[in-house]
Amino acid sequence: MTVATPPLPDEAPDHYLSRLGTVFAHFDRQDSGNVSYGVVIDGERCFVKTAGHPGHTPFLDHAQRVDLLRNAVRLALAYRHPALPALHTVVESAHGPMLVYAWADGELVGVPREHRDDPTSAFHRFRSLPAERILAVLDTVFDVHDLLGRDGEVAGDFYDGCLIYDFTTRHVSVIDLDTYRPGPYRNDMGRMFGSSRFMAPEEFTLGALIDQRTSVFTMGRTVRVFLGDHLPGPLQEVVTRACRPDPAERHASLPEFCAAWRDARSQLG
């Protein structure tokens, strides 16, 4: 699918998308300042992500948000996986690029803290699934990170809000990988972007080394968030190592962690 009609140089994304198709969803309460849309174009549902209005600067200024969208394009062109929504096209506008993705069916697993214990929330319902169904989702998440890790990518700001789960088809989509980038690099922020439930100690320490061992910690914490501390022995060993405070004591890379996870899963039969 391609979007053939270019926007006018000074036309705002929402006006352009309303001309191009039918806007059925509007996502403008993002910490990043990005604004996204659900749009039906030529009978197909799409997710369109933009950098938002140039005058709106909650945490990142508009130029920084544009840079992250360019990085998202780089990742989408470099990596293909059934759990990664396909990027159809990029449309340039006066407000920056509009990234047109395939629509991901399902519900966002991450919800605000005050709703996590609500039995009707996607987070609570997901955590209440049988362990084997949650493990199957984790298998997919780790498969995606194995793919990225083999090329040296380091995870950034991964949390439950990066997962869309279809409770009917059991398909999981991994989204919002805009801040993933090749590593290693140094923490130049102090407290980096992300959910503290998933973040490694070095993501809070200015000047600390950020590499795939940091990403390994995040993957381990993902297991803990969804399944708690009561895991079968082989999985418990893998996750305990992944979540050690000292990076040197964790698995050295995402592929190493993913291989250990798969081996532990195979031992469960």
Q: What is the mean pLDDT of each run of 10 residues along the chain (269 residues)?
A: 52 86 87 88 95 74 92 96 96 89 97 92 97 97 98 97 98 97 96 96 98 98 95 95 98 98 91
Give the residue among 110, 96, 120, 107 at the shortest CA–CA distance from 48: 96
Q: What pLDDT shows up at residue 12?
A: 81
Q: What pLDDT shows up at residue 4?
A: 46
Name the burial class of residue 19, with classes exposed (0-12), middle (13-18) and buried (19+) by CB atoms within 10 angstroms of its CB: exposed
Q: What pLDDT shows up at residue 262?
A: 98
Do residues 146 and 154 make contact, with C-beta atoms less than 8 angstroms apart? Answer: no
Whichever domain contains 82, its CATH number is 3.30.200.20
Task: Using the structure block, give the residue that is written with the tokens 């381990």.
Answer: 220
- The last residue of a domain, from among 79, 102, 125: 102
Q: What pLDDT shows up at residue 52?
A: 86
Report if residue 239 sits inside a domain: yes
Q: Cα–Cα distances in Å, from 189 out to 177, 202, 205? A: 19, 11, 8
Q: What pLDDT shows up at residue 79?
A: 97
Q: What pLDDT shows up at residue 258?
A: 98
Mean pLDDT rounded to a whole number for the chain: 92
Domain that holds residue 225: 107-267
Q: Which residues on adjacent β-strands are paired with residue 181? A: 154
- The last residue of a domain, from among 41, 67, 102: 102
In this structure, the answer to whether residues 62 and 166 fall within a common structural domain is no
Q: Per the structure, how many domains does the chain have? A: 2
pTM for the structure as a whole: 0.93
Question: 216 CB contacts (<8 Å, ≥6 apart)?
Answer: 242, 250, 251, 253, 254, 256, 257
Strand residue runs (E) in the chain:
22-27, 35-41, 44-50, 87-93, 96-102, 107-108, 153-154, 163-165, 172-174, 181-182, 185-186, 209-210
- The last residue of a domain, from among 70, 102, 134: 102
